[in-house]
């Protein structure tokens, strides 16, 4: 971003604003000489003009004189300050932006002094990245001509009023009108007025507004050379009587069959001269027909429409087929409607602009970052409420909008500490005072300087009081010039602020039962306001419908993942368990009812036989005795934490499925960090092996361990023959060595006869670095059970992974903060997982060639234009590319490529890499936390590229339900051709499967025995599950 275009005034060296800052906007030269050249005559003339404005301004008793050190006393609404002692030309607005017309939104023909805010607004905000479409600009200019031609006191307006008085409707009128009734609180009024204007624009109607008690005192005229204020002598003026029962309402006329909405029954002669549109929150079914195409055709024939609403009803206009194409041209970027219309229509009057600019200069201007917190409390009773304060702080701290405090020691901020100004808006002062005092009484843990401010606290909403509404309008505007914003659910006050500012706020959910929600807030999908009372009606089908299915129709409501998860967990203890659905599209792969049934039964088993239960203690005592009894109520699989994190996740899923198939309790060796990485998956119990477990020398368990099942078979300590494996001859536990280096006797684990023997051993200790589930599908004993559990064979890890592996809150913080900071705003997310097996110092050119070759050939990323510089358009789509690699070189080269050259498609490409640890550090906690976070982040992408042989990529694709493009392993430092291919299924690959026919007692190709177990794309001898039942 060009910092010269940041539109925030900075204080002058003298501490007072430059005289130019309060006069009419006059763009100066882009760069002034160092001496600050200013013509004295121009300055004097500007000051005289300002003094004339000031002397004629209305005085009120509420505007007490204010003094500034070194400045002149403020008079009236605007400041005139002395420049004495300051460097000539060092204006507070030295970086005056050129685009005072907001990309063409505004007409250049207004008198600047009559409405200072119109052209000065650019001085208080960063330049919007959202440019209005050329078609919107064209339509606005045409509409301004229409308003001028047909506005109040014109010949055509007078003619239309006479026709209205006559009560007759003529076939064709040159000017048609929408009259907006001033109703409800100020936030609602602003949103409904924007809605009414868009409707007027779509239907080529003139917009006139009921001035109510204060509309003319709050807003400047938006249309040049005319007024939008409805003349006081307008013949229809009893607006207070217009409600849901009004006989003039379109809905009531339809219901009582005064008029018809059938195309053949709605002749012009049968229609009234005007109709009242009741679109308030309490509107009825017939009123809601306004949003139907046939009814719009009828309404087009009525010259005067009078509209009353307290809703932002624009979203439902997008669902009317008649306007679909027009709206797409007006707003190619759908979430900018209010952002553009709000900045076009709503300019604070000079009096309100004085409230805004003075507050900004006094309290907000000097801060390096501005944070807005908009608080609306719906609880009854006297606040402040602790749960509301908890929610505000929970949101601000969790999302890192504000720093935490250090309650243990006093930290003195350094001279270079950054500063944040927090502006709080609330009807009450209690929340502001508590937040202000918190940062006053304690230092921040970051050393940041936090100033907390509240412009007013009126106690209750006073919609009918002019100064109350002026302050409300000023506060909405001040919130809109912040850098980050927190708003309250359901509040139109916040909607206005976020839309004007082009901000996507963190919205605080409405508390229930006086308890702060968990999570306390979330980042909104778009900066658009919410339509609180939309119709749920299919106009064509004549029935109710769910019409919220748009760009974000895939936001899932099913936090239990189709029943995979149990609903009984404490949500706060593991936020990721139920929040994960917010970061992924809903999976099309539903778990089978039988899998759900078995999971619930297994959870009961884990609870009954888990650590510290009577049955567990009994089983441990039996283990210590070294004896095996004929029948035990609880049998166990103990999983040893071994190898890298990707391997651990895959082997743990394998061990769990084996436990499920054999009705064993799964307990896991916590290793160095398992409890820090994963939440408990089973309700009301733990899967962590107690620290006092009698078998604990897991580091000594390897291929040579005498306790291993393979070694005991080989040395004939036990027998796998059915008649030779009596319970009395078996050990109390056996070690299963299923790692990559396992021997032929170890591999007999995958034979049916050996499974019958193992069923008699109560404790099995398992160590593996392989995803061995494909070979479980080749054991006849489990074939039928597995078919019922997973009718769709390639979803095994997808379901088990989402069931078992929930990041702990600390890891979830890493995931969600990174997602929100870098990925959330993109329209598409691309994951590239890079694992390089070459020795030596990279980055290697052949690896980069392979990555780009795959991404470009498969159209996952766009090509670049090396010949010319293409400026992205405002409606260009954006892609966020997340690269995971132990090294930064590939990320830097891809990032620089898209930074230095435009794309041939015009797409905006952002490239990000969370970490680059240099080498795998399996024994370090934070390394593994970042690795787990990065696997998870890859799993929430839309498309994924992975590296051959990498369990890191397997985990990501399985959790996300993605079929990635897999890059083949390079040979001889040459990029393969083709560089990648789409995988058969999202299942991981079993890298070291056995090739043994248990019945024939000979070698066999286990990838050719059944249609759903095939060889892997990236490893020719590996096995993977595919969803195929026939050859």
pTM, two decimals, is 0.52
Are 107 and 347 within 8 A, CB to CB? no
Would you give the distance in Å from CA 216 to the centre of its chain?
38
pLDDT reading at 398 higher than 50: yes
pLDDT reading at 615 higher than 90: yes
Identify the pLDDT of residue 443: 81
Paired strand residues for 639: 668, 766
Residues in Cβ contact with 304 at an 8 Å cutoff, skipping those fewer than 6 apart: 160, 164, 176, 177, 179, 236, 273, 274, 275
Q: Tell me the percentage of the chain whose pLDDT exceeds 70.
A: 84
Would you give the distance in Å from CA 544 to the centre of its chain?
29
Arithmetic mean of pLDDT, 824-841: 87
Report the alpha-carbon distance of residue 228 to residue 69 in Å, rounded. Answer: 42
Are 427 and 463 within 8 A, CB to CB? no
Per-residue confidence band for 290, with pLDDT thresholds at 50, 70 and 90: very high
pLDDT reading at 51 higher than 70: no
Distances (CA, A) of 766 to 168, 629, 691, 804, 854: 88, 21, 17, 18, 38
Single out the residue of 976, 977, 947, 942 nearest to residue 962, CA to CA.
Answer: 942
What's the burial of 604, exposed, middle or buried (CB within 10 Å: 0-12/13-18/19+)? middle
pLDDT reading at 917 higher than 80: no
Arithmetic mean of pLDDT, 113-124: 93
Residues in Cβ contact with 387 at an 8 Å cutoff, skipping those fewer than 6 apart: 511, 514, 515, 516
Identify the pLDDT of residue 973: 84
Arithmetic mean of pLDDT, 748-766: 96
Residues in Cβ contact with 315 at an 8 Å cutoff, skipping those fewer than 6 apart: 528, 531, 534
Identify the pLDDT of residue 457: 76
How many alpha carbons lie under 13 Å from residue 941 in its C-beta half-sphere? Answer: 32
Per-residue confidence band for 542, with pLDDT thresholds at 50, 70 and 90: low
> Mind listing the domains of the chain with CATH numbers?
1-119 (no CATH), 134-345 (no CATH), 351-519 (3.40.50.11350), 593-794 (no CATH), 807-1025 (3.40.50.11350)
Identify the pLDDT of residue 90: 30
Identify the pLDDT of residue 688: 97
Would you give the distance in Å from CA 312 to the centre of its chain?
22
Identify the pLDDT of residue 898: 86
pLDDT reading at 73 higher than 80: no
pLDDT reading at 994 higher than 60: yes
Report the alpha-carbon distance of residue 652 to residue 665 in Å, rounded. Answer: 13
**Encoded tokens for 854:** 């795959």
pLDDT reading at 712 higher than 90: yes
- Nearest-5° angle of CA 579, CA 583, CA 589? 95
Identify the pLDDT of residue 30: 34
Q: What is the pLDDT of residues 199-237, one digit of tens each?
A: 999 999 999 999 888 899 999 999 999 999 999 999 998
Identify the pLDDT of residue 268: 55
pLDDT reading at 943 higher than 80: yes
Q: How many CB atoms lie within 10 A of CB 511?
A: 19
pLDDT reading at 274 higher than 50: yes
Positive or negative, the Cα torsion across 591, 593, 594, 600?
positive
pLDDT reading at 810 higher than 50: yes
Higher pLDDT, 454 or 937: 937
Distances (CA, A) of 640 to 701, 737, 790, 946: 9, 10, 26, 27
For the chain, the average pLDDT equals 84
């Amino acid at each position: 971003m060009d910092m010269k275009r940041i539109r925030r005034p900075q204080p002058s060296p003298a501490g007072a604003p430059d005289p130019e800052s309060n006069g009419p906007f006059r763009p100066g030269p882009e760069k002034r000489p160092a001496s600050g050249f200013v013509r004295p005559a121009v300055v004097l003339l500007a000051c005289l003009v300002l003094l004339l404005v000031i002397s004629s301004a209305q005085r009120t008793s509420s505007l007490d004189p204010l003094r500034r050190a070194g400045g002149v006393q403020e008079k009236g609404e605007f400041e005139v300050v002395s420049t004495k002692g300051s460097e000539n030309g060092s204006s507070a607005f030295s970086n005056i932006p050129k685009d005072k017309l907001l990309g063409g939104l505004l007409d250049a023909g207004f008198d600047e002094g009559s409405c200072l805010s119109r052209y000065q607004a650019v001085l208080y905000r960063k330049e919007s990245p959202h440019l209005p479409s050329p078609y919107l600009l064209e339509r606005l200019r045409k509409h301004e001509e229409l308003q001028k031609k047909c506005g109040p006191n014109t010949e055509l307006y007078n003619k239309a009023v006479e026709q209205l008085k006559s009560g007759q409707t003529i076939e064709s009128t040159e000017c048609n009108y929408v009259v907006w009734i001033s109703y409800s609180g100020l936030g609602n009024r602003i949103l409904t007025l924007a809605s009414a204007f868009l409707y007027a624009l779509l239907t080529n109607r003139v917009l006139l507004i009921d001035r109510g008690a204060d509309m003319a005192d709050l807003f400047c005229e938006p249309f040049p050379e005319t007024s939008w204020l409805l003349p006081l002598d307008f013949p229809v003026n009893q607006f207070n009587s217009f409600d849901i029962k009004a006989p003039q309402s379109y809905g009531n006329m339809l219901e009582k069959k005064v008029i018809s909405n059938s195309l053949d029954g709605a002749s012009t002669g049968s229609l009234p001269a005007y109709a009242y549109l009741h679109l308030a929150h309490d509107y009825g079914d017939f009123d809601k027909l306004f949003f139907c195409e046939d009814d719009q055709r009828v309404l087009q024939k009525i010259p005067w429409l009078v509209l009353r609403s307290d809703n932002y009803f624009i979203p439902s206009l997008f669902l009317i087929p008649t306007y679909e194409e027009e709206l797409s041209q007006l707003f190619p970027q759908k979430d900018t409607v209010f952002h553009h219309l709000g900045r076009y229509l709503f300019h604070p009057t000079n009096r309100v602009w004085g409230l805004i600019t003075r507050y900004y200069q006094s309290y907000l201007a000097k801060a390096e970052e501005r944070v807005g917190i908009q608080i609306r409390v719906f609880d009854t009773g006297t606040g402040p409420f602790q749960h509301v304060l908890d929610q505000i702080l929970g949101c601000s701290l969790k999302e890192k909008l504000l720093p935490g405090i250090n309650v243990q020691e006093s930290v003195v901020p350094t001279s270079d500490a950054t500063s944040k100004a927090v502006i709080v808006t609330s009807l009450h002062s209690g929340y502001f005072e508590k937040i202000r005092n918190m940062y006053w009484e304690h230092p921040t843990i970051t050393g940041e300087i936090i100033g907390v401010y509240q412009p007013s606290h009126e106690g209750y909403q006073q919609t009918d009081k002019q100064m109350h509404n002026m302050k409300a309008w000023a506060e909405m505007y001040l919130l809109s010039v912040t850098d980050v914003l927190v708003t309250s659910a359901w509040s139109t006050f916040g909607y206005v602020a976020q839309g004007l500012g082009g901000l996507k706020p963190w919205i605080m959910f409405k508390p229930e039962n006086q308890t702060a929600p968990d999570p306390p807030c979330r980042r909104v999908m778009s900066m658009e306001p919410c339509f609180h009372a939309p119709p749920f009606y299919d106009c064509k089908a004549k029935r109710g419908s769910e019409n919220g299915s748009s760009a974000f129709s895939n936001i899932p409501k099913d936090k239990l993942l189709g029943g995979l998860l149990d609903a009984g967990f404490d949500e706060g203890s593991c936020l990721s368990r139920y929040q994960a659905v917010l970061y992924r599209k809903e999976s099309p792969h539903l778990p089978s009812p039988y899998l759900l049934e078995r999971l619930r039964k297994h959870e009961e088993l884990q609870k009954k036989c888990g650590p510290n239960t009577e049955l567990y203690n009994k089983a441990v005592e039996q283990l210590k005795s070294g004896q095996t009894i004929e029948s035990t109520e609880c049998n166990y699989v103990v999983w040893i934490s071994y190898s890298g994190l990707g391997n651990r996740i895959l082997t743990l899923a394998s061990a769990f499925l084996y436990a499920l198939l054999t009705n064993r309790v799964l307990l896991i060796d916590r290793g160095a960090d398992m409890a820090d990485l994963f939440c408990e998956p089973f309700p009301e119990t733990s899967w962590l092996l107690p620290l006092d477990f009698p078998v604990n020398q897991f580091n000594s368990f390897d291929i040579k361990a005498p306790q291993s099942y393979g070694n005991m078979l080989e040395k004939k300590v036990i027998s796998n023959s059915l008649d030779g494996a009596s319970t009395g001859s078996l050990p109390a536990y056996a070690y299963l060595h299923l790692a990559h280096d396992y021997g032929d006797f170890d591999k007999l684990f995958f034979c049916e006869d050996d499974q019958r023997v193992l069923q008699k051993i109560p404790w099995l200790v398992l160590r593996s670095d392989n995803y061995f589930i494909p070979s479980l599908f080749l054991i006849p004993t489990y074939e039928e059970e597995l078919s019922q559990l997973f009718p769709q064979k390639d979803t095994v890890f997808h379901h088990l992974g989402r069931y078992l592996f929930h990041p702990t809150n600390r890891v979830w913080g890493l995931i969600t903060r990174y997602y929100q900071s870098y990925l959330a705003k993109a329209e598409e997310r691309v994951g590239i997982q890079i694992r390089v097996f070459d020795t030596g110092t990279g980055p290697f050119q052949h690896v980069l060639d392979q990555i780009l070759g795959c991404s470009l050939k498969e159209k996952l990323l766009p090509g670049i234009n090396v010949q010319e510089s293409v400026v992205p358009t405002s409606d260009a789509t954006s892609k966020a590319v997340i690269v995971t690699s132990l090294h930064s070189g590939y990320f830097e080269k891809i990032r620089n490529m898209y930074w230095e050259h435009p794309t041939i498609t015009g797409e905006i490409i952002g490239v990000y890499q969370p970490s680059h640890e240099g080498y795998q550090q399996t024994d370090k906690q934070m390394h593994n936390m970042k690795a787990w976070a990065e696997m998870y982040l890859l799993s929430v992408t839309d498309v994924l590229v992975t590296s051959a042989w990498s369990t890191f990529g397997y985990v990501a694709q399985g959790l996300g339900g993605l079929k990635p493009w897999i890059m083949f392993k390079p040979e001889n430092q040459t990029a393969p051709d083709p560089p990648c291919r789409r995988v058969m299924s999202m299942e991981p690959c079993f890298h070291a499967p056995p090739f043994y026919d248990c019945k024939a007692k000979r070698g066999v190709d286990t990838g050719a025995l059944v249609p759903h177990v095939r060889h892997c794309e990236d490893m020719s001898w590996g096995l993977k599950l595919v969803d195929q039942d026939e050859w």
